[in-house]
Amino acid sequence: MPIQATQYIWFNGKLVPWEKATVHVLSHALHYGSSVFEGVRAYATPKGVAIFRLADHTRRLFDSAKIYRINVPFTPEQLNAAQREVVAVNGLKNGAYLRPVAFRGYGEIGVAPKIDPPVDVAVAAWEWGKYLGADSEAEGVDVCISSWQRVAPNTLPAMAKAAGNYLSSQLISMEAKRLGFVEGIGLAPDGTVSEGAGENLFLVRDGVIHTPGFAHSVLGGITRDTVIKLARDMGYEVRETSIPREMLYIADELFFTGTAAEITPIRSVDRITVGAGRRGPITEKLQKAFFGLFTGATPDKYNWLDPVDMSATPRAVSA
């Protein structure tokens, strides 16, 4: 989806004009993928704008950095404050998508430099709609199983949300789009179901909800965890398990989850209709509970909403 530019980006502790947030072409991350990032959403709620599960996203960013030995030169509290700040100073009162990123910058070239390049950190925020299409939330999407597998756990760590890992996702998604599908699903190296190119996957069969476990090359999704908690609170059995490919074809319901995708129904896999070929009843109930967190219809019992003081004004901006 196109990026809608805002006024400011938080870059290495300072607010800079959007167009000035640039990096050197010899930055390490540009050549070797040494970058970790997050996708975070802020929502408009009856009590004002709030960032959803801010602390959990920031914790995952630091976990990813730890796995890849990227030393983030800021504290989690500083990055939480930075995310609130970019929403406020850009006046994103209707909600926003946020992109915090930490990456090895300019200083030394080579796969594993003798002296670590400096680590740069940025946070951007802008308005963003439905990742998989304007009608996807209600109508569902058509997907295929990709010829490209997800990476094995002992090659690239799936639990890290790292730039280099997403080359696999690009292959999966580009292949799907070339074949006329909205998204692709990657299988784990053992042939079982893993996840979408940028989404976790859930399956409903006979009233039981299934999702691939962490051993199947899946990212520990924040929305995935949210849906598991909401579903169990609603009385559903949720199994984190191994799912063979053919179960996708005979599922009663399928849906993607993710910060960008939110909860998106899947209506067909490899042109085989899923269930009735539309959003299923359990998927719809979970969507209602999820989006109810932002309307007040679902109690925020886990304190997932982090309020943003929208009256904040820009501090000194670097030229």
Secondary element (H or E) of residue 56: helix 54-67
Q: How many CB atoms lie within 10 A of CB 194?
A: 26
φ/ψ (deg, to 5) at 34:
-85, 70
By the 8 A CB rule, do 122 and 21 touch?
yes
CA dist 283 and 285 (Å) reads 5
Cα dihedral sign for 240, 291, 197, 157?
A: negative
Tell me the catalytic residues.
161
Burial class (CB in 10 A: 0-12, 13-18, 19+), 235: exposed
* Helix (H), strand (E), coil (C) string for 6-52: CCEEEECCEEEEHHHCCCCCCCHHHHHCCEEECCEEEEEECCEEEEE
